[in-house]
């Protein structure tokens, strides 16, 4: 139990009165005694107020997702049920490390017999299992003389997963694109698999008119073609030294894992088979290509515990193992990072080895800080030096990518926070153009 601001002001009142009496009468001991007596009465009233207000403490229930998404603001709801009007402050206790809570303290005014939902968010930066702590509540008493503190036991275990919120949003996006009329029109005539006949409309390619069906129905009909399904996508995710670097608050590997799962979801939604290989000096985890939503759940469960390691990856060895595992043609997407032609010579050689039997696709996660440094003009020597280094890094990367393109490798170099959307779009373009 703690005094409120009005209580402190009340305690200062007797002190001021006692000082005035001591100056006027000269009776210092009597003035001090009067002050102490008055303060004891105020403190007694504060204690009484707190005791009478304890039955008014609200009940609290926390709604915390058991699987939080890394690098996302995960909403957490606290439901308060009040018995009497009061001012309430609440502090939740997330794990001590790898979490940020916004806001740290929640404040609300409860009405009598009312229920209020308060929401704050948790931003985790590391995957794993964590213990969430208790809830601490502070309520102002009826006469506003005391704060009443209470600890509400609410410990529970939560797990931090890859970006499940992003996957959920992508699922909705895929569903809308598949069901929308505009999406259907864009797919007309692009692909190799026949799906249906429909009436000819202005703007359709005359080459798609089915003349036999037109003659039978006495009206022009066009063939609807869609991209071929049941093709194979292999995702290779590097978990070596370069993937341990922090980029915008997350390890580069976590950005890569989020990107890989987004790509896998898109491919499975399009009816393709998805396989997965996580490697460093050797292939650490191999998941054979399969189709269906259950396969995505399997990917999430098996990949979530994996963390990057400070070891140099063996690109050539990983590619050799992959080609032995996957004999049929497939789109092979390597998610990694590179420095320049010299430092990443093995990566360039390994990706070039995949063509033309496979369709290789190298995806790298660029640090946006390098882009910002390259664009910033500075007036001091240190700033200009940093800009020069950033420009050289981007130039070396561009030369390495050009070498990959000459070897028949598709490339995508994007900021880590944007690479998921760009890779999904590129994959859909490949499907529409039947490049797989």
Q: Are residues 238 and 386 in the same domain?
A: yes
- pLDDT at residue 360 is higher than 90: yes
pLDDT tens digits for range 98-145: 999 999 999 999 888 889 999 999 999 999 999 999 999 999 988 889
Answer whether 413's CB lies under 8 Å from 426's CB.
Answer: no
What ranges in 180-306 are assigned the alpha helix state H? 181-187, 211-217, 252-269, 293-303
Q: Are residues 418 and 321 in the same domain?
A: yes
pLDDT tens digits for range 265-304: 999 998 899 999 999 999 999 999 999 889 999 999 999 9
Q: Are residues 68 and 50 in the same domain?
A: no
Residue 215 placed within a domain: no
Q: Are residues 79 and 120 in the same domain?
A: yes
Q: Are residues 147 and 277 in the same domain?
A: no
pLDDT, position 327: 86
Q: Are residues 363 and 415 in the same domain?
A: yes
Residue 14 placed within a domain: yes
Average pLDDT, the chain: 88
Residue 374 placed within a domain: yes
Q: Which of 108, 138, 161 is the last residue before a domain boundary? A: 161
How far apart are the C-alpha atoms of 399 and 338, rounded to whole Å?
A: 11
Q: Are residues 280 and 383 in the same domain?
A: yes
Residue 154 placed within a domain: yes
**Beta bridge partner(s), residue 59:** 81
| CATH label of the domain that carries residue 410 | 3.40.50.410
Pairing state of beta strands 359-366 and 410-415? parallel
pLDDT tens digits for range 29-63: 888 888 888 889 988 988 998 888 888 888 899 99
Residue 189 placed within a domain: no
pLDDT, position 182: 39
Residue 316 placed within a domain: yes
Answer whether 275's CB lies under 8 Å from 232's CB.
Answer: yes
Q: Are residues 62 and 156 in the same domain?
A: yes
pLDDT tens digits for range 149-160: 999 999 999 999
Q: Which of 16, 34, 54 is the last residue before a domain boundary? A: 54
pLDDT, position 187: 46
% of the chain at pLDDT higher than 70: 94
pLDDT, position 11: 84
The pLDDT-based confidence of 179 (bands split at 50, 70, 90) is low
- pLDDT at residue 72 is higher than 90: yes
Phi then psi dihedrals of residue 89, to 5 deg: -120, 140
Answer whether 145's CB lies under 8 Å from 46's CB.
Answer: yes
Strand, helix or coil for residue 24: helix
Question: pTM here?
Answer: 0.81
DSSP per-residue codes, 175-216: HHHHH-HHHHHHHTT-SSEEEEEEE--TT--GGGB-HHHHHH
pLDDT, position 214: 83
| CATH label of the domain that carries residue 80 | 2.60.40.10
Residue 31 placed within a domain: yes
Answer whether 412's CB lies under 8 Å from 423's CB.
Answer: yes
Q: Which of 111, 127, 161 is the last residue before a domain boundary? A: 161
Sheet holding 128-132, edge to edge: 67-69, 156-161, 128-132
Q: Are residues 22 and 130 in the same domain?
A: no
Nearest in space to 250 (alpha carbons), one of 127, 390, 67, 94: 127
Structural domain span for residue 244: 232-432
- pLDDT at residue 208 is higher than 80: no
How far apart are the C-alpha atoms of 91 and 300, rounded to whole Å?
A: 32
Residue 10 placed within a domain: yes
Q: Are residues 282 and 371 in the same domain?
A: yes
Lowest mean pLDDT among 37-41, 222-226, 357-361: 222-226
How far apart are the C-alpha atoms of 345 and 343, rounded to whole Å?
A: 6
How far apart are the C-alpha atoms of 329 and 3, rounded to whole Å?
A: 74
The pLDDT-based confidence of 3 (bands split at 50, 70, 90) is confident
Indicate if the alpha-carbon torsion angle 418, 424, 428, 431 is positive or negative.
positive
Q: Are residues 254 and 375 in the same domain?
A: yes
Answer whether 315's CB lies under 8 Å from 346's CB.
Answer: yes
pLDDT mean over 375-386: 83
Domain count of the chain? Answer: 3
How far apart are the C-alpha atoms of 7 and 46, rounded to whole Å?
A: 8
Q: Are residues 139 and 272 in the same domain?
A: no
């Amino acid at each position: 139990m703690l005094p409120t601001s009005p209580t402190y002001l009340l305690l200062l009142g007797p002190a001021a009165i006692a000082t005035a009496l001591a100056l006027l009468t000269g009776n210092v001991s009597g003035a001090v005694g009067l002050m102490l007596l008055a303060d004891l009465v105020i403190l007694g009233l504060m204690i009484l107020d707190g005791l009478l207000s304890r039955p008014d403490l609200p009940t609290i229930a926390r709604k915390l997702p058991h699987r939080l998404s890394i690098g996302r603001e995960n909403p957490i709801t606290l439901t308060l049920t009040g018995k009497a009007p009061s001012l309430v402050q609440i502090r939740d206790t997330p794990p001590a490390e790898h979490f940020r809570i916004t806001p740290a303290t929640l404040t609300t005014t409860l009405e009598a017999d009312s229920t209020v939902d308060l929401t704050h968010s948790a931003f985790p930066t590391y995957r794993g299992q964590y213990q969430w702590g208790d809830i601490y509540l502070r309520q102002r008493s009826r006469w506003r003389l005391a704060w009443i503190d209470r600890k509400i036991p609410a410990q529970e275990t939560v797990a931090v997963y890859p970006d499940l919120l992003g996957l959920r949003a992508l699922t909705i996006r895929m569903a809308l694109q598949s069901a929308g009329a505009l999406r259907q029109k864009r797919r007309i005539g692009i692909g190799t698999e026949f799906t249906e006949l429909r009436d000819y409309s202005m703007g359709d390619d005359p080459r798609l008119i089915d003349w036999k069906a037109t003659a039978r129905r006495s009206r022009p009909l066009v063939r609807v073609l869609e991209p071929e399904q049941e093709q194979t996508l292999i995702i290779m995710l590097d978990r070596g030294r370069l993937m341990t670097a922090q980029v915008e608050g997350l390890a580069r590997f976590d950005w890569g894992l989020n990107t890989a799962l987004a790509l896998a979801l898109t491919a499975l939604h399009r009816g393709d088979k998805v396989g997965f290989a996580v490697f460093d000096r050797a292939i650490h985890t191999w998941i054979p290509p399969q189709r269906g939503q259950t396969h995505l759940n399997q990917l999430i469960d098996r990949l979530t515990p994996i963390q990057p390691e400070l070891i140099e990856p063996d690109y050539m060895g990983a590619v050799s193992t992959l080609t032995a595992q996957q004999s049929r043609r497939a789109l092979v997407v390597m998610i990694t990072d590179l420095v320049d032609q010299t430092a990443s010579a093995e990566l360039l050689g390994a990706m070039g080895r995949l063509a033309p039997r496979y369709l290789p696709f190298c995806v790298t996660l660029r640090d946006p800080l390098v882009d910002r440094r390259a664009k910033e003009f500075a007036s001091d020597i240190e700033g200009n030096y940093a800009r020069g280094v950033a420009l050289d890094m981007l130039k070396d990367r561009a030369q390495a990518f050009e070498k990959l393109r000459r070897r028949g490798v598709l490339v995508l170099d994007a900021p880590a926070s944007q690479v998921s959307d760009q890779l999904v779009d590129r994959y859909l373009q490949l499907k529409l153009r039947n490049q797989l």
